[in-house]
């Protein structure tokens, strides 16, 4: 194995010199996957050519650029993040049917930028998470760089307004959750995640808090008319109230531990009216038997989805990590989540951290719910595959919690084992990623195999590794980079 310092140098070179996309001679983001030089014969002569990634892996994805932009920010290159945010903002849709959404991805075509709003995507599904990530990244940029003037610009405030106009519209449901189709976030192929998947709800919570904080920042300058200020303050109050309702809803309906499962199993069904305990008419038979061992005695987590009569008890890593990072979960609940991860590290970490979800859809469920998607075979890709780009989210969640805990808790039964687990996980990335050519994902029950259709030199694999190194080895204090405003501070 190469020395650690050399691996870091290689990763930085890949990110800064191979993955970067330029527009008008300025860096604006990174490719999904880095093209590699190959040798081929052209007209009888051996030539070196770049083999570009197929499909849309040569585009700039908002989702994929979350870790790269956070790393650039922590690495002293806030200017790249600002240009990325401005570029995405310039592509925010103004079409009547999609006004306010951000593209899943964009590409540079000569002297213009071309966005994908779902019209070119596989399955024609728009990535809702891209729209929710933008205000969060905007807040993170402003908070860390202290560039408040950027946030007060009319185009930024107008972009936030378009986002809120998109989100705060009347609908057919009173629940504070956001309803989306299958494949509308990181899990971007059919996986029976339609409805109100956890990741979207947690991102919605973070986006609402971030948008409210950025709007309040503009209101503090006091230049607008009294009528406009009153209207915007009323809207901000609506946003904060929605975020509060959403958090309460997630903790009531999505959070499970041994106690809540006991309650779930004993609730009556076929109830009608206001004062009922089983709002979604969930039958005992929908609670899987594996849940008892999965939770252990101290574990707890946010389940994947809540739908009428069809709760999804699968564990989704990113949604749960973000639930801790954004403080949807209380401090005690965060400790229960970390305990669950420790208890199930054989499934979630194994040979390559971090498994995206558990357990996989198998047999008839795989056939019927994924549409026979060969990429999502059991233990593959998004169907319980292992994604190294996810580890830094877990590191961030643990470090944030530890830094905010008392000395007694920091040295208790939980934190030393978690620190050891994170260090061991980092060593696995250090050992395996360079030799596996920075693959996109890994397959199998333990993640030992490179993904069957994995792209090599995947940019967010590289960026996630650099963030894991930065947070564990360089500056753990930077774990506060994703600390969003508290609900109470936005009143």
CA angle 79, 84, 87 (to 5 degrees): 125
Q: What is the pLDDT along the chain (491 residues), one digit of tens a residue?
A: 899 999 999 999 999 999 999 999 999 999 999 988 654 455 656 454 555 555 678 999 999 999 999 999 999 999 999 999 999 999 999 998 899 999 999 999 999 999 999 888 877 888 999 999 999 999 999 999 999 999 999 999 999 999 999 999 888 889 999 999 999 999 999 999 999 999 999 999 999 999 999 999 998 877 667 778 888 888 899 999 999 999 999 999 999 999 999 998 999 889 898 888 889 999 999 999 999 999 999 999 999 999 999 999 999 999 999 999 999 999 999 999 999 999 999 999 999 999 999 999 999 999 999 999 999 999 999 999 999 999 999 999 999 999 987 655 565 778 899 999 999 999 999 999 999 999 999 999 999 999 999 999 999 999 999 999 999 999 999 999 999 999 888 87
Measuring CA to CA, how many Å separate 355 from each of 135, 315, 318, 479?
Answer: 27, 10, 9, 22
Of 50, 58, 48, which is closest to residue 20 (Cα–Cα)? Answer: 58
Query: Is the CB of residue 12 less than 8 Å from the CB of residue 463?
Result: no
Query: Is the CB of residue 145 less than 8 Å from the CB of residue 78?
Result: yes
Helix axes 154-167, 78-90, angle to 10 degrees: 60
Q: Pseudo-torsion of CA 457, 192, 395, 293, nearest 10°?
A: -130
Query: Is the CB of residue 314 less than 8 Å from the CB of residue 359?
Result: yes
What domains sit in the chain, N to C, each tagged with a CATH number? 4-490 (1.50.10.10)
**Which residues contact residue 61 at a Cβ distance below 8 angstroms, ignoring those fewer than 6 apart?**
32, 104, 105, 127, 130
The pair of three-digit structure tokens given for residue 80, joined into one six-digit string = 């790249």
């Amino acid at each position: 194995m190469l020395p650690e310092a050399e691996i870091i140098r290689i990763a930085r070179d890949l990110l800064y010199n191979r993955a970067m996309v330029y527009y008008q001679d300025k860096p604006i983001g990174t490719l999904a996957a880095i093209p590699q030089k190959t040798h081929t014969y052209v007209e009888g002569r051996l030539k070196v050519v770049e083999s570009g990634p197929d499909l849309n892996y040569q585009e700039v994805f908002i989702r994929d650029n979350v870790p790269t932009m956070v790393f650039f920010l922590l690495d002293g290159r806030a200017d790249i993040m600002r240009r990325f945010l401005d570029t995405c903002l310039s592509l925010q849709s103004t079409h009547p049917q999609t006004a306010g959404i951000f593209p899943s991805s964009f590409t540079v075509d000569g002297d213009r930028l071309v966005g994908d709003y779902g019209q070119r995507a596989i399955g024609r599904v728009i990535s809702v998470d891209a729209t929710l990530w933008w205000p969060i990244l905007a807040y993170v940029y402003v908070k860390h760089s202290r560039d408040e003037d950027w946030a007060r610009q009319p185009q930024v405030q107008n972009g936030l307004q378009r986002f809120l106009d998109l989100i705060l519209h009347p609908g057919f449901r009173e629940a504070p959750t956001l309803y989306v189709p299958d494949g509308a976030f990181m899990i971007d192929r059919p996986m029976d995640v339609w409805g109100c998947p956890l990741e979207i709800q947690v991102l919605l919570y973070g986006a609402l808090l971030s948008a409210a904080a950025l709007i309040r920042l503009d209101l503090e300058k006091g230049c607008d008319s009294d009528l406009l200020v009153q209207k915007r303050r009323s809207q901000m109050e609506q946003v904060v109230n929605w975020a509060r309702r959403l958090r309460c809803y997630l903790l009531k309906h999505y959070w499970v531990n041994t106690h809540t499962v006991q309650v779930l199993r004993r609730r009556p069904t076929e109830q009608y009216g206001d004062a009922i305990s089983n709002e979604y008419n969930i039958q005992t038979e929908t609670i899987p038997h594996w849940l008892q061992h999965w939770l252990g005695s101290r574990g707890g987590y946010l389940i994947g989805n809540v739908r009428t009569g069809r709760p999804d008890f699968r564990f989704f890593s990113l949604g749960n990590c973000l639930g801790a990072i954004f403080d949807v979960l209380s401090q005690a609940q965060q400790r229960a989540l970390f305990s669950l991860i420790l208890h199930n590290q054989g499934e979630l970490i194994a040979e390559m951290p971090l498994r995206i979800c558990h357990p996989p859809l198998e047999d008839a469920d795989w056939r019927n719910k994924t549409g026979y998607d060969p990429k999502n075979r059991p233990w593959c890709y998004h169907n319980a595959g292992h994604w190294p780009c996810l580890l830094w989210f877990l590191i961030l969640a643990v470090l944030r919690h530890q830094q905010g805990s008392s000395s007694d808790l920091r040295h208790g039964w939980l934190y030393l084992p978690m620190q050891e687990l994170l260090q061991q996980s980092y060593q696995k990335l250090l050992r395996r990623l360079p030799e596996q050519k920075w693959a996109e994902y890994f397959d199998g029950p333990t993640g030992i195999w490179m993904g069957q259709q994995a792209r090599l030199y995947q940019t967010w694999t590289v960026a996630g590794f650099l963030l894991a190194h930065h947070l564990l080895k360089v500056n753990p204090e930077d774990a506060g980079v994703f600390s969003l405003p508290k609900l109470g501070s936005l009143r």
